[in-house]
Amino acid sequence: MDGNHSGGLGLVGDIGGTNARFALVEFDGQDPRLIEPTAYRGGDYRTAEDAIEHYLQKVGVRHPDQAVVAVAGPIEHGSVHMTNLDWRISEDSLRRAGGFRNAKLINDFTAQALAAPRLGPKDLRQIGPLPTSGEGDLAILGPGTGFGVAGLVRRHGQEIPLATEGGHVAFAPVDEVEIEVLCALTKDLQGGRVSVERILSGPGMEDLHVALGAAEGRQVEALTAKQITEHAVEGCADSLATVNRFCAVLGSTAGDIALTLGARGGVFVAGGIAPRIIDILEKSPFRERFEAKGRLSGFTKAIPTHVILHPHTALIGAAVALTPEGRAAVS
């Protein structure tokens, strides 16, 4: 791509605990269009700015006009220290590194929230009996390297994302096995607090695998999350037990978040793990546990749930944040 064409382009990024994804965005009066989305391993770069400079060199664009970068972590005063990656990023450093006129940091699940209403049927897998709804507030959550949570308030044609740190709420067991898992994880953390992210993430799945095996009296070997999901898809009983329990906890947590945010319009499951286990998740206790809210079960039974399959949802949301309406929503 010729750098002389950079005037109508913006840059968007999605930086998580493992991967850093970037794309150019073209503005032509229509919905923003992603150009050359590319993923890098964050650990291969010293800083986010180095990764951005590498990407801009690759695509041959010197100075896009503006940038929005979605990051996994709480943003304070225009800067963030990544939760699961040792990077510090600021809007000022991004402006200098990329030569942008404007640069904005937003939470990665704020970006997911902005993108969710724009996803089509091919980008989603419906879990349960209800299709997506065009009305009502939304919740977006997802396990990956960490566990993210956001909301989207929809009022009078406006969409306002709600950034949260809901991935760090406490894990609430619902049966004796999960109580034993909680006790084991509490012990491993030397009496520390067990958040849902300690289970609903890649590292959390690895800890769950060992703790669940012990709670159910099975001898299991320590595996990576990638190995657990691959073995589960292949039918390995121990790994399948872990993934089914993971899906059950995910369902309970998603239902709690739907209650907390009043997400009558739907709950979307994002992140890198759910699409890899989608066929297991669809048959798992996820939806049953999502609905099982005692006196409020009628509330959650009426809420649609979907898994997001699109690989660049946060980039789409970051691109939305470059539009006038999106800028107003995240300002």
> Is 18 annotated as contributing to ligand binding?
yes
Closest Cα to residue 280, out of 251, 311, 244, 246? 244
Closest Cα to residue 64, out of 105, 115, 102, 28? 102
Structure token pair of residue 300: 């959650």
> Is 14 annotated as contributing to ligand binding?
yes
> Is 148 annotated as contributing to ligand binding?
no
> Is 213 annotated as contributing to ligand binding?
no
> Is 17 annotated as contributing to ligand binding?
yes
Q: State CA 98 to chain mean position distance.
A: 25
> Is 271 annotated as contributing to ligand binding?
no
Closest Cα to residue 93, out of 121, 150, 53, 40? 53
Annotated binding-site members: 13-18
Annotated binding-site members for ATP: 13-18
